Structure formats: structure tokens, C-alpha cells
Structure 1
């Protein structure tokens, strides 16, 4: 079968098309005929071996696929990559049936980015009605969904940040109350001003560097910053515990794979709610573009340049 195979770590240039053996299901696994594969920013880290979990070569990247299993339309999370291919293996508990009215690209936008936004708001920061929410990278895959969910779940004020006017307009169209330039020299002051002169309650942050530092400084009493990525590849300043006392603030890390360690199948609860919202037309996945398998490196280049909005997908059939 055709797949993207990485045989050396590096940037987008290491993503090459190869003919590889078709995977064989083991106990508890199903073989999915892939119609679309999701492309995530985390994939760019895996390609250069800078992700939280170490990568192993040779590697077929991709942690999520939509497709069919014996006639069932499904979306699935993959345990060990393999999504950028014509066929992929998934464990049955990580396979979710798709309702009518939810297409493959929408489903792929929900299974990682949507679930991430759900977990950040529901489990990490425990959003309460009336609280202000800052969504950084608000035009991205997680950001576009977090803006909509925060608004639907009663946030008092949703403050979006993005790097371009078009991206800020998209965030406003999705329901953000205000959108500001993330590159403003004094981001802390801009966030407080955008919140009517008051410190903010919640920040969803995946940029790193000074964006994290200034966002933490903008938190009010019992404010929470949920950190779930580092797109800039720049480390924020070390956090000193006494500094958290100054405004009774909290910093929470969130990595999606840890959801599977929670009791009660929290991931299935998240997917059920997200898929229902999408089927009802109350949650929109922004189409970020579809790429042919041979153009996977172009997708990674676009992600790393931060030119993209919404959800990017790969079609392994072309």
C-alpha cells in the first residue's frame, strides 16, 4: 500500500511516499480502509523527534483517520501512528461510529482538536458560566472549536488572539467577543484591556515563550492557564511556585493521551457530545484544506509557517 514513511528525522522534507506492507490486525485491533487522515501540529514534532513521546524509525506519521470497517463509517485514534496511509490499525475502544450528517473532515476535526478543546474547558480549567476565556491561536484547529464551545457553555467574554487580520475575523465570526493581535508588544495589557480592564479568568495556551509568560501575568484571582502545546518551540520562563500565590493562579498541563487513563471512558463522552453538536449544526469544524498523499510535506510546511486555519486533512487515495 502507499504511505508516507519517514526514515530520518527532520523537517517537512523527510516526508516521502513509499510502498509498504499492509498492516495486519492484532488482538483487539481493526483494519480501517482510510478515506481521510488528519494532519496535526503534533505530527511536525514527531517528524523531527521533538514530541512528548519519542518517535521510532522507520515511521508512518498520523494519529487519526476516518474511513470504513466492514461497512461502518468510523473515525479513530491510532495507538502508534500509521495514519498517513491507505490502511491503518486501531484498537476497537478508540474507534467511534459516525452519525449521519458528519463528514470525514468534520469527524477528524473533532477527534483530536475537538476533544482537546472539550478536555481543556471541561476537565482542565473547569469553566464556570460568566468567566472570561482567552483562546490563543484562535484560528487553529483547537482554537476555532474552543471559541465555539466556550461561548456555548456560558463564557462571559471570549477573547481570541491570532497573528493576522483574517484569522482574527474568523475568530469573531465563530463567536469570539473580541480578537487581538498576539504579537502586540504588551500582550498582558492588551488581554486585560480586552476584558474591560479586569484580569482574565481562563487562558488556553499552546504557543510558548513570551505568550505564555504574559498570559500568566494577566490572570486574575483563581485564574487558570491550561498549557497544551508549544508551537513557537520557545520555552516559557520557569514558573516559581510563590508567584502563583500573588493572584491565586494555577497552571495546568494537558496532553490528550492521558484521557485514556481516566475512569469512565471520558473520551467517549467527549466524542459523543462533540459529534452530536456537529450533527445538529451547532459546532463547526473549519476546513483548513485537503492535501494529496504526495503533498504531505506541503501541509507540514504550511503548519510550521502558521499560515493555516482550521483542520487540515490528507487524502491517501490520491
Structure 2
């Protein structure tokens, strides 16, 4: 089968098209003929071995695929760390979800990581209450475009979208944001408070890191919460000083999707069912970005790292 393999860690240049044997499913596992592959920002960290879970070589990167089982089911699934950038992939049935009618493969891929991440950040990490203000950094990305919409669906009083281009900020307004902020604002604290009509904000969803995180935290209202789920800038924010959390009555929480599968009650399944229903009914609109041929995975990573992309990126193994 055709696949992308990494034999040394590094940037997008380490993603090399190759031919590999088909994967062999273990007992109870599902072998999928892959129709579409999801590309996540975490994949760029995986390629350079800077992700939360360490990688080992050689490796086929990628953690999510949509495809068909041998008996014809249309499934979207997560892989155990890697193996997604290929024509065939093996998934654990506990990490796979049947795609309902009315939801495309691309939309399902936009939901299984980005959609569930946005849902968890709002429902679990920051525990949104009706009427609260929500800041969404990277609002033009896969998580951001869904988080803007879900925040409104979950009763946010005011949604502030932060994005790097005029095109992304315009899209955020179309998706329901009440105000937008340029991610290059020289003083993010002041920009967020101004966008919230002079008031400090209740919730911030942040996957940027560095200066943006530091200045965003200073914009939190008493009992405000920051949900941290990535570090696209590859810059560490300042260490959180515990006395300051008490001084300002603020909370900082992290979210890593694999931990959601450890929660009782199939929380991810609950999120997927809710998200699938919203998409099928038309109340949630996954923003589908560019689809690249499988062999151009390097270009997809280059584009993603440049922060010039909008919405969910995918690879098509048939191209």
C-alpha cells in the first residue's frame, strides 16, 4: 500500500512517500480501506518528536482516518498514536464511530478530534455557563471554527474570535462571533478587554502559547478560566504562579484528548453523537479546508505550520 513514512525526526521534509505492507488487524480490530485522512497540528509535533506522547521510528504518522470496513460500514476512527497516513489502517472499535447519513467523511474527520476537543474544552475544561464571554484563539483553525459555533450553541453571551488574517476574522463573524481580534495585536490583554466592551473575559480557549497565553491570562475576569490545549507558537508561556491564581480567582486547565477516553460513561461517544446530530440538522458547520494528495503530506504540514490554512485539512489516498 502507499503510505507516508518517517525514518528521522524533523520538519515537514521528513514526510516521505513510500510503499509498505498492509497492516494486519489484531483480534477484534477493524481494517479500514481509507477514503480520507485527517491532518492535525499535533501531527507536526509528532514528526519532530515534540508531542506529549513520544514517537518511535520508523513511523507512519497520523491519528485519524475515515473509510470502509470489509462489511461496508462507513467509519471514522482514531488510531493508537500513528498509522493514519496510508491507504489502509487498523483502528480499535472502541475508538471508531459509524458515520451517519447526512455527514460526509470530511465532516466526520473535522469532528473526531477538533470537534470533540472544542466540545470538551467548553463542557469539561472551562465548564461554560450561559451568558459568559468566550475568547477563541486560532479561530480560523479546525478547533477554532467549531468552538466559535459551539460556544454560541452552549449559551455564550459574547464570543470573541482571535485570528491572523482578515479572511479568518470575517469567517469567524459569519460563524457567529460577536467580535474579532487580530492575533498580532501588540497588547492582547487590552485587545481582548476592548473586544468585550471594556470588561474582562470569562473563558479563553488557547492553543498558541508564549506571549499570547501570558497576555490572555491577564484579561481574565475573577473566576475566569483558560483552557490550554496546544502550543502552535512553539513558545512556552511564563510559569503559572499559584498565588496569582488565588489573587485573581482564575483557573488554568489543560486538555489532551486521549484522557477523555479514560472518563466513565463514554464521554467522547456522547460528544460525537451530539456533534453528528448538529451537523446533520445544519446547526453546526464544519469548515473543510484543502484536501491534498497523500504524496503531498509534506506540503500540508508546511501550510499548516505557516498558519495560513483555514478549517480542516485532509489527505486523499486515491489522488
TM-score grouping bracket, smaller chain normalisation: over 0.9
1:202 matched to which residue of 2?
A: 203
Deviations 1:218-247 (A, max 9, x none): 000100000000000000001100111222
Taking structure 1 as the reference length, the TM-score comes to 0.99
Deviations 1:66-124 (A, max 9, x none): 01012001100111311110000001111100111100100000000000000000011
Secondary structure of the residue aligned to 1:222 is strand
Deviations 1:254-284 (A, max 9, x none): 0000001101110100100001111111111
2:65 matched to which residue of 1?
A: 65
What are the equivalent positions in structure 2 for 1:48-197 lying under 5 Å apart? 48-69=48-69, 70-197=71-198
Deviations 1:133-168 (A, max 9, x none): 000000000000000000111100000001111111
2:36 matched to which residue of 1?
A: 36
CA distance in 2, matches of 1:94, 1:49: 23
Secondary structure of the residue aligned to 2:272 is helix
The gaps in structure 1 that reach 5 residues or longer are: none
CA distance in 2, matches of 1:216, 1:174: 25
CA distance in 2, matches of 1:27, 1:203: 43
CA distance in 2, matches of 1:39, 1:97: 20
1:20 matched to which residue of 2?
A: 20
Deviation, 1:28, is 2.5
1:4 matched to which residue of 2?
A: 4
CA distance in 2, matches of 1:176, 1:247: 27
Taking structure 2 as the reference length, the TM-score comes to 0.99
Moved over 3 A (4+): none
1:234 matched to which residue of 2?
A: 235
Secondary structure of the residue aligned to 1:246 is helix
Deviation, 1:15, is 0.5
CA distance in 2, matches of 1:74, 1:63: 14
- The aligned length equals 318
Deviation, 1:186, is 1.0
RMSD: 0.6
Residue 295 (structure 2) pairs with residue 276 (structure 1): no
CA distance in 2, matches of 1:22, 1:98: 24
